[in-house]
Structure formats: C-alpha cells, structure tokens
Structure 1
Amino acid sequence: MENFRLKVFRAVATQASFRKASEALHLSQPAVSQHIHALEEELGIRLFDRSGVRIALTPAGKLLLKYAERSARVLEEAKTALLRLEGEVSGMLHLGASTTIAQYILPRILGAFLRDNPKVTLSVVSGNTEQIVSSLLKGSVTLGMIEGPPMSKEVHTEKFLDDRMVLIVPRSHEWSGMGNVPLAFLAQVPLLLREQGSGSRRVVEQAFRKAGLPLGQLQIAMELDSSEAILSGVEAGLGLGFVSEWAAAKALRLGAVARVEVQGLEIWRELTLVRKLGPAPEGPAAAFWRFALAQRVDKKGA
C-alpha cells in the first residue's frame, strides 16, 4: 500500500547506507539509487548529503522522514483494520526481548504463535532488561519480554513464566560431585556475572542480599553480556556462574558443566510481558499478548 519510493527512502534513511538498504529491500544498489534520484527529482530538493564518508539526511530529508514514517504507520493500521473485518490478525509486530528469553524461550513461543497467525510479520530485537524497557518507552518496540523488574513506572507488566537461576560449575571442579555447598563458600570462588543493567544480574544480587551474603565479599572475576558467554566461561574454567535453567539445560545434558545447589539460596524470577502504560494494545500486539499469557506456567508453585 505504501508508495515504493517512500519505502526505499525510509530504508536508506534508517540504514544510512544505500548498500544496506538494497540488501534489506532485496534490490540492486543502482536500483535503490535510481529510486532516490527519482524522488528527489519529483520533489525538486536534495534529501541526502553524499559529500561525506557516510550519507546523511539533509534538513529536508529529516522532515520528509517524519512524514514517511507517519504515513507507513497509518497505512499499516489501515491494513490491520481491514483484515480485522475478515477475522484475521495481520500486520507488523515490533517485539523486544531480554537476551535469555530471546535465545532460549521466544523461538518456541513464536513458532506456535505464527502457526496460529500466519499473516503477522515480526521484527525482534534483543538486549538486557534496561535496553528493552528503553526501546519500549522510545517507541522502537511495541511489546517487551524481560527477565527482571523494570526500573520504570511508565510501563505495565504481567508475568508469563517463572524461571529459576541455578549455579553451574566446570565439570572438573571440586564442587561438581558435592550436590550442594554452604552459602559462605560462594565468597571463596571467582564468579562470572551478567553486566549491570541485566535483569539476571539484578535478581542474583537481590537473592544474595536476602540470604545475608554481602556483595562486597564476592570475587567477581568477570562481567559478561549473555548467558551463553557465562556458560562458555564456566566450561573453560574461568569461574562459576548463575544462569537460567532454560539456558543451562543443553550444557547440563551434554555434561559440559555441572549444577550445584547452594544451601539457603533459592533464586526465582518472573519473566514478564511489558508494554507502555495507556490503552491496551490492538491487532498483532494484542494477539501476541494474549497468546504469551496463555503459555503461563507457574513452576515455582509446582
């Protein structure tokens, strides 16, 4: 429904590159340049400054981009509304997911969701909890799925899954065959933790405080940006780490690492759906929200 030249313009403006835009649109680079040239000829004004190493929008280009994005949103809403008359959910859903959810949980949910809603198109970005909430508030994503409590009062959250954080150790570590260890032992070993801003990091630190283990006593050997990095670090003998049961499942099954219980330490967290405060979502966002909540499992109470 959208004017194709405007679609090409939005792609070039977003990517700041004719090459990347051509790849995203599955067009040749000369064809992209030709569409932009034709649009500039039609409007009688330059939209891009090509004098530098990277192309940049001119003031006119920045103004047109605002209207082009608004037009694309309105046309997408119109398409969704028309298809709703036929009883089908259709349109684009911009989804953000925390790292562990994006890697280990979301693919299972999306597979089933898209089978039920084949006319929905998905765009998924991942990051830590703070990054996903920030993207949500900026409007870059419509819905988020996060691993920790959001540090914002401008969002509405709802639990869709319980998750447990478990301690993993190298297979050759002396704790590997012990089954469980006293809490105080954690202060004697190097720990691999997620980076600041991660929901996983926040939940683990809160559990330590609640159990009476001062954070200042911990030997934090390394901060890493994903559960996969912690798993690899533990397997390589760089330290011990806490990761989601979802993330650890394959490595434990293959015997790459071992799981150890810590006496007096239970780390549960709620994986939550998050959206901006205000009217309830509609269209694909509403369908996904309902679908994700229908998958809700209370493992903690089991």
Structure 2
Amino acid sequence: MNLHQFRFVQEAVRQKLNLTEAAKALHTSQPGVSKAIIELEEELGIEIFARHGKRIKRVTEPGTAVVECIDRIMVEIGNLKRIAQNYGNQDTGTLSIATTHTQARYVLPGPISKLRERYPHVTISLHQGSPSEVAQMLQDEVADIGIATESLQDNDNLVSLPFYEWQHMLIMPKTHALAQKQTIHLEDLAMEPLVTYHPSFAGRSKIDLAFAQKKRVPKIVLEAIDSDVIKTYVRTGLGIGIVAEVALDPTQLQTTDADLHVVPAGELFGQNLARVAFKRGAYLRNFVYDFTELLSDRLSKNLVQKTLQGKFAPDADY
C-alpha cells in the first residue's frame, strides 16, 4: 500500500464517490484512480466501496473504518511537512485563513497587518465563504485556521475556541419613525420590511429564532452577505437593517455612517460567539499561533495547544 492509494480513497469520498471528479482533483486519470483503489482493497482483503457494475455506490462498513484511518494518516503526513517547514524555514511560508466576508472585512485587517510586520516573508492566503464552507476548507486542509460564528463548533473533525462575543444592531435612516422610539420591540420590527443577512451568515439563525418564538414572521425584503450592501439598501429606504456589531465602526458612525440611527439589538436577538477553529490533530506552525494571539489576548499559544490536545473545555469562560 502507498500514499497514492490513500489519497485516491480520500478524494473519492470527498467527491461523493465520483471517481471522475476525484481524478480531476488529483490531476490523474479515472482508470488510474479506480485501479489503485482496487489494488488497495485486494491487499487489505476487504471491499472499501460497494459497487454496482463499475460504479461505486457507497462506502462499506469496513471501508468506513479504513477511510477514518486514512484520514488520520494523511493528517499526520501533513503534520510532518509542517514540522519540517517550521524548523527549517521558521519565518517563511503561507498562512491560509478561511473566513466569512464580515470577519475578513471588519475584524482581520488589523491582526493581518501586525502579522505581516512580524513575519514579512509569510504570505497570507485569505479564503472567503459561508461558515459551512469555512469548516469544509479546514477539514480539507485548504486553510490552517477558520473564523466564523456558525458551523465550526458542530464539526467533530475540528476544534474551536470562542474569539469574541457580539450582538446585532438595528440601522435605519434618522428620519425613520422607529428612530424616535426609546425602546424597539420585536413586535415593532415585525411590522417593518427588513434588510439583513443570508440565512447561513452572521447569526441570522438567531434572528429567525427570535421571531419564531414570538410566533411572528419577519418581512425580510432583501438578504445579503455583505454588511455594506445592507447599509446601502437601508439608505434607499428599502427597510430597517439588521447587521453585525463589528460592521459599525465607531469612527465611521461619526463620519460615513453618521446618517444612520443605530440601536443595539442584543436583547431582541441574543448574543453571538465568533470562533476560531483548527483541524483536529493538526500541527500548527509558530506564525499560526502568533496570528491567533493577535486576534485576541484570550487566545494564547498554550490555550490553543491544550485545546488541540483535548485538555481544555473551550467554552469554560462563556
């Protein structure tokens, strides 16, 4: 058996048992992938995949155990490479970050700039996607670190730590009728058109849950993944905006966002936790730990290492 066979099995599972797509992803031929998998099955004396004719239909029961073992082996192969890089070229390499648009736009510029000052020869690769895509990029080792509010805590292949707590904010033109109210209730918002995030982004699930608990259906007229887009449509009078707290910089509230009336909505929709995550069992290079510490003084190298080793309860302080 060899690493090529392991990669072929792993990629076949990633591509939902489509060997043609697996071959494309690995820049090889479909017959070559199929032959290598069959040879591995013959050597092991078990079927990893159940077939109908030449088509793979499902992973067998022993195949599931084999795939899990292969995943662990490939993680350790990646770790060996990172260990060599860390001690051979400590101040060079690539830091791959998977995150959502809101985090990339409003949270990461400062820490990334500081990391570049500390490691001028490290390249930053920023991958933006939905929270579920962030989790998948970590699992597939496309990224070293993932940052999002949703999805990261629910994946058994990842470990995550709370990064910071945030709430939603209501935004509206200062001339809006609700801007004159001291307290805005959920019943008030249920009567208004709303502009907010797509369901998979920025704590949208908590917004939907709050309305459902009050047996109300929100009038959402526009969904977006970009807070600046939400602000733009609020200014056109399309509706009241619901955005993440980090999207409202205090300086901008005195300048470019000075035309907006802003109301904290934590009591309406609850608090949200942004999280940093890593693939379980991954070896992290020193600059990954340094970047994590730049994100928050709560996220020390020691804490991240203990979490990766399963020696710390990540949400103990929350």
> TM-score by structure 2 length?
0.62
- The answer for the alignment partner of 2:227 in structure 1 is 227
Q: Deviations over 1:180-211 (max 9, x none)?
A: 222211110011121122133123334445xx
| Contact 1:231–1:248, Cα closer than 8 Å, also in 2 | no
The alignment status of 1:194 with 2:200, answered yes or no, reads no
> Kindly tell me: are residues 63 and 284 of structure 1, through their superposed partners in 2, closer, same or farther at Cα, counting changes over 3 Å?
farther
Of 110, 113, 117, 2:112 maps to 110
Compute the displacement of 1:177 (Å). Answer: 2.7
Compute the displacement of 1:246 (Å). Answer: 1.8
Query: Match of 1:153, SS?
Result: coil
Query: Match of 2:187, SS?
Result: helix
| Contact 1:189–1:219, Cα closer than 8 Å, also in 2 | yes
| Contact 1:180–1:262, Cα closer than 8 Å, also in 2 | no
| Contact 2:132–2:151, Cα closer than 8 Å, also in 1 | no
Compute the displacement of 1:228 (Å). Answer: 1.4
The alignment status of 1:82 with 2:47, answered yes or no, reads no
Gaps of 5+ in 1: 1-57, 65-71
> Kindly tell me: are residues 121 and 76 of structure 1, through their superposed partners in 2, closer, same or farther at Cα, counting changes over 3 Å?
farther
The alignment status of 1:258 with 2:264, answered yes or no, reads no
| Contact 2:104–2:128, Cα closer than 8 Å, also in 1 | yes
- The answer for the alignment partner of 1:291 in structure 2 is 294
- The answer for the alignment partner of 1:37 in structure 2 is none
> Residues of 2 paired with 1:91 and 1:164: CA distance?
36
> Kindly tell me: are residues 153 and 116 of structure 1, through their superposed partners in 2, closer, same or farther at Cα, counting changes over 3 Å?
same
> Kindly tell me: are residues 251 and 179 of structure 1, through their superposed partners in 2, closer, same or farther at Cα, counting changes over 3 Å?
farther
> TM-score by structure 1 length?
0.65
Q: Deviations over 1:35-74 (max 9, x none)?
A: xxxxxxxxxxxxxxxxxxxxxxx98x9149xxxxxxx998
| Contact 2:79–2:282, Cα closer than 8 Å, also in 1 | no
Q: What is the alpha-carbon root mean square deviation over aligned residues?
A: 3.4
> Residues of 2 paired with 1:238 and 1:123: CA distance?
36
> Kindly tell me: are residues 145 and 206 of structure 1, through their superposed partners in 2, closer, same or farther at Cα, counting changes over 3 Å?
same
Gaps of 5+ in 2: 1-22, 30-77, 300-316
Matches for 1:240-259 after TM superposition, within 5 Å: 240-249=240-249, 252-254=253-255, 255-259=258-262
Identity across the alignment (%): 20
| Contact 2:101–2:226, Cα closer than 8 Å, also in 1 | yes
Aligned-partner residue type, residue 274 of structure 2: L
- The answer for the alignment partner of 2:13 in structure 1 is none
Compute the displacement of 1:213 (Å). Answer: 2.5
Matches for 1:1-302 after TM superposition, within 5 Å: 62-63=27-28, 78-84=84-90, 89-150=91-152, 151-209=154-212, 212-214=213-215, 216-249=216-249, 252-254=253-255, 255-261=258-264, 264-265=267-268, 267-294=270-297
> Residues of 2 paired with 1:146 and 1:96: CA distance?
9
Q: Which moved more, 1:110-119 or 1:232-241?
A: 110-119
